Amino acid sequence: MPDQKLEQFKTLLKLRGLSMTSERQQILRAIVALGARFSVDDLYFAMHECGMKTSKATIYRTIQLLLESGIVNESALSGRQASYELAEPGEHRLHMVCQHCGKTSEVRGADVDRFVAQISESHEFLPLAAQIKFSGICVDCVEANPISLRRETCVPFLKYYQSRQTKPADAS
């Protein structure tokens, strides 16, 4: 297992006043060994097949810590069960979740990384991980529901944005 991931995890645990237990270390090793996108169930079955005994609750709690430490990212999938994958160092993702159909799309790349870096710098904050989520309506749902969604939801949004754009600059 790359030492860097272990050190990264230890840093988060130390900040949270937690210790690196052998169970936490075993779960991180199993994730690295899997090397693919996984759900809590996938990891649970893979670990049990290799004779490593741990509960789904422990796996779930450890994944939450790994998310906070930036070692894994939640992966965008439309299915009900959350899935995760190992994060590239310094890589951030933004998820857009449609509240109408549940579709989740993922944005990553230089724009998102730059956004996180700029905000962190201006607020003098060192982020270990960033989980950015936009909740809203996808274009397919807007087009499929022209009356209800446009009238009730999109029109107020558009009015809001238009008012922001036409707002005169603050006199200073």
The distance of closest approach from Cβ of residue 144 to Zn ion in the complex, given in angstroms and rounded to an integer, is 8
CB 46 within 8 A of CB 84: no
Is 138 a residue that touches Zn ion (CB under 5 A)?
Answer: yes
Name the packing angle between helices 3-15 and 22-34 (round to 10°): 140
Instruction: Tell me the three state secondary structure of residue 172.
Output: coil
For residues 46 and 44, give the distance between their C-alpha atoms in angstroms, rounded to a whole number: 6
- Tokens encoding 62: 């450890």
- Residue (92 or 95) nearer to Zn ion, CB: 95
The distance of closest approach from Cβ of residue 99 to Zn ion in the complex, given in angstroms and rounded to an integer, is 8
For residues 31 and 27, give the distance between their C-alpha atoms in angstroms, rounded to a whole number: 6
The distance of closest approach from Cβ of residue 33 to Zn ion in the complex, given in angstroms and rounded to an integer, is 36
The distance of closest approach from Cβ of residue 94 to Zn ion in the complex, given in angstroms and rounded to an integer, is 17
Of 10, 37, 100, 150, the one binding Zn ion (CB under 5 A) is: 100
For residues 95 and 136, give the distance between their C-alpha atoms in angstroms, rounded to a whole number: 11
- Count of positions on this chain that bind Zn ion (CB under 5 A): 6
Is 98 a residue that touches Zn ion (CB under 5 A)?
Answer: yes
Which residues in 102-121 contact Zn ion (CB under 5 A)? 103
Half-sphere exposure (Cβ direction) of 101: Cα atoms closer than 13 Å: 16
- Residue that the structure tokens 């009238």 belong to: 151
- Residue (86 or 141) nearer to Zn ion, CB: 141
The distance of closest approach from Cβ of residue 96 to Zn ion in the complex, given in angstroms and rounded to an integer, is 10
- Residue (101 or 154) nearer to Zn ion, CB: 101
- Residue (28 or 141) nearer to Zn ion, CB: 141
Is 97 a residue that touches Zn ion (CB under 5 A)?
Answer: no
CB 133 within 8 A of CB 97: yes
Interface residue list for Zn ion (CB under 5 A): 98, 100-101, 103, 138, 141
